[in-house]
């Protein structure tokens, strides 16, 4: 329970060297629920000195952690996965209250995380180095033998976003730890209570002191200091493209892994199964109010089937449950994370309407709840054609053919994923080959899972590849030891 790491003033502690400690300067940030506006607790607003102490301790702890046998690290991860399952209801409740996610999705985030951690442990056992013979290169000889091993990088800085406060924290922490790194974990401020609860579970599982230390505080205040700290060896970041770009400009001579924003397109060709397409588009665009990097954020449909598709999307959207998940348990569309986000989404809708976009469904706002909104006849002049709403608004851009859809899809600054809906396998491959994105989904909504698949974005959508095996590889380096025989 999160209360176990709070004091009587509802103030959470920080994890440092295996101990939950009170904030030293007495400064805290209060976390309010977007569902009730009530306080859920406070997290330490850490000073530079406290950040230094956390990173220094992680560096020291890594010297021992890297020596721990792989099977022991793996056993610890299995234990974490089991504890997560045992505490899933409590943690899901906190996720729901803190980031306004419906209870079912919050619980499935926690259980998916247990699966991810267990699969990470399984995968780690299969990662081996290699043995190379010197004589395969011209001029080489058999007396030279290379042993290639995977080594940890050191201290990994894991920075997670608000929208999956458990899963996108664990998908950094677990592969980093199993690779022999220690972790300094900086959760999104809105989401930090859920993040600290997750860390508590790692600690309960028996992680040695210092293997994870927490850093809390506003990214705008401590972010630059943390990401430029000389004892950080690797930054694993998920969040907006704006902050991602800032971090990659500031960090010096270290690798980064970044999952950033997206503007995923659903391209619909004339022979698509429109019922399947409409269902996928609606769940892809509106689940958790579109607050997912992989949400479908624009539809590019060929003229011949545009009217029929818009009509089917409208019918599917009318089935969406909209409201506060405390009152409507299975709500698909919930209040956005804060008023700024709702203002931003509303601004996109207003701009589109002023420029001639037709609101087919929605367009209504109550507080931070934006009703699911479908805008037809969107043109390239409208902001909603290009900007990531991170909210429940879906623009439809009508195109004359697949070529025009590909052109508009690729004109985006983002390159996370795209879908193509068609019953013609040749057309599916043709379009997929031309799309500048990390993944293409044929006849399915865009989505990250299953979590062992490679997940990457190009252009402003990211740097490097996540996905269980790929994440472990990204957070380890190859080292060669060369044996030179003399006989
Ligand atoms: P965000 O505002 O960029 O914040 C992400 C994280 O960065 C938070 O922990 C934040 O801390 C921290 N941060 C802020 N300023 C920083 C700085 N100067 N230096 C270091 N860290 C800093 O993003 P968000 O609103 O949480 O998440 C939404 C965005 O994330 C969307 O653009 C979405 O597409 C993207 N996202 C991408 C993926 C993907 O896999 N591609 C997945 C999920 C989300 P504070 O909370 O304290 O500000
Ligand atoms: O925005 C978070 C991203 O990782 C999405 O995951 O499973 O909702 O596609 P998913």
- Pairing of the two strands 393-399 and 465-466: unpaired
Whether 259 is catalytic is yes
Residue 393 DSSP label: E
Q: Is the pLDDT of residue 418 over 90?
A: yes
Residue pLDDT, tens place only, 332-366: 999 999 999 999 999 999 999 999 999 999 999 99
Q: Is the pLDDT of residue 3 over 90?
A: no
Instruction: Return the H-helix or E-strand segment holding 171.
Output: helix 167-178
Read off the pLDDT of each residue in 275-290 and give the average, rounded to a whole number.
98
For residue 28, the number of C-alpha atoms closer than 13 Å in the C-beta half-sphere is 21
Give Cα 410 to chain centroid, integer Å: 22
Q: Which one from 109, 203, 293, 346 is the annotated catalytic residue?
A: 293
Percent with pLDDT over 70 in the chain: 100
The residue written with tokens 């996905």 in the block is 467
Give residue ranges with CB within 6 A of ligand 1: 159-163, 168, 186, 188-189, 218-220, 223-224, 227, 238-240, 243, 246-247, 259-262, 293, 388, 390, 416, 457, 462
Model confidence at 191, pLDDT cuts 50, 70, 90, reads: very high
Enumerate the β-bridge partners of residue 184.
157, 213
Centre of ligand 2 from the C-alpha of residue 448, in Å: 5
**Both tokens assigned to 67:** 């020596």
Q: Given a cut of 80, is residue 168 above it in pLDDT?
A: yes
Q: What's the rounded mean pLDDT across residues 181-188?
A: 98
Rounded mean pLDDT, 448-465: 98
pLDDT of residue 166: 98
Give the whole-angstrom CA distance, residue 66 versus residue 60.
11
Residues 99-119: pLDDT tens digits? Answer: 999 999 999 999 999 999 999
Catalytic residue among 53, 98, 203, 259: 259
How far apart CA 39 and CA 425 sit, in angstroms, is: 53
Residue 98: nearest ligand to its CA? 1
User: Taking the complete model, does pTM exceed 0.75, yes or no?
Assistant: yes
Q: What is the pLDDT of residues 366-412, one digit of tens each?
A: 999 999 999 999 999 999 999 999 999 999 999 999 999 999 999 99
Q: Does residue 74 contact residue 247 with C-beta atoms inside 8 Å?
A: no
* Residue 45 scores a pLDDT above 80: yes
Q: Is 293 in the pocket of ligand 2 (CB under 6 A)?
A: yes
- Rounded to whole angstroms, the Cα distance separating 212 from 200 reads 10
Please tell me the predicted confidence (pLDDT) of residue 2: 85
The structural domains of the chain, ordered by start, are 2-260+464-479 (3.40.605.10), 265-451 (3.40.309.10)
């Amino acid at each position: 329970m999160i209360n176990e790491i709070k004091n009587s003033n509802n103030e959470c502690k920080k994890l440092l060297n295996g101990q939950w400690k009170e904030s030293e300067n007495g400064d805290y940030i209060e976390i309010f629920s977007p569902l009730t506006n009530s306080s859920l607790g406070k997290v330490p607003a850490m000073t530079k000195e406290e950040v230094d102490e956390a990173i220094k301790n992680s560096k020291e702890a890594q010297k021992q952690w890297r020596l721990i046998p792989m099977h022991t690290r793996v056993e610890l991860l299995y234990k974490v996965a089991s504890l997560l399952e045992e505490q899933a209801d409590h943690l899901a409740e906190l996720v729901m209250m803190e980031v306004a996610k419906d209870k079912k999705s919050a619980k499935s985030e926690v259980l998916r995380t247990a699966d991810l951690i267990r699969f990470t442990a399984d995968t780690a056992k299969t990662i081996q180095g290699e043995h190379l013979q010197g004589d395969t290169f011209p001029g080489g000889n058999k007396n030279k033998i290379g042993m290639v091993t995977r080594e940890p990088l050191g201290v990994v800085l894991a920075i997670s976003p608000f929208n999956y406060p458990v899963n996108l924290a664990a998908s950094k922490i677990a592969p980093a730890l199993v690779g022999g790194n220690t972790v300094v974990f900086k959760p999104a401020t809105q989401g930090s209570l859920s993040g600290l609860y997750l860390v508590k579970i790692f600690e309960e599982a028996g992680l040695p002191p210092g293997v994870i230390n927490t850093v809390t505080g506003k990214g705008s205040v401590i972010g630059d200091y943390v990401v430029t700290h000389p004892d950080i060896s690797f930054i694993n970041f998920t969040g907006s493209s704006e902050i991602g770009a800032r971090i990659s400009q500031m960090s010096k001579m270290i690798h980064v892994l970044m999952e950033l924003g997206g503007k995923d397109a659903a391209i619909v060709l004339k022979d698509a199964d429109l019922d399947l397409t409409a269902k996928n588009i609606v769940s892809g665009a509106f689940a958790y109010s579109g607050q997912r990097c992989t949400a479908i954020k624009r539809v590019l449909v060929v003229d011949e089937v545009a009217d029929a598709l818009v009509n089917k999307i409208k019918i599917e959207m009318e089935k969406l449950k909209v409201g506060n998940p405390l009152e409507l348990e299975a709500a698909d569309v919930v209040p956005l994370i804060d008023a700024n986000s709702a203002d931003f989404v509303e601004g996109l809708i207003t701009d589109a309407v002023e420029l001639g976009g037709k609101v087919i469904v929605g367009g209504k706002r109550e507080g931070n709840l934006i009703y699911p909104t479908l805008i037809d006849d969107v043109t390239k002049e409208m902001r909603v054609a290009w900007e990531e709403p991170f909210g429940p608004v879906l623009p439809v851009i009508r195109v004359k053919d697949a070529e025009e859809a590909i052109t508009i899809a690729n004109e985006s600054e983002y390159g996370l994923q795209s879908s193509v809906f068609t019953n013609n396998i040749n057309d599916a491959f043709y379009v997929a080959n031309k799309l500048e994105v990390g993944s293409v989904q044929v006849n399915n909504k865009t989505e990250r899972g299953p979590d062992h698949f490679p997940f990457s974005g190009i252009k402003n959508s990211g740097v490097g590849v996540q996905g269980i095996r790929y994440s472990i590889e990204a957070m380890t380096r190859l080292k060669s030891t060369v044996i030179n025989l003399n006989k």
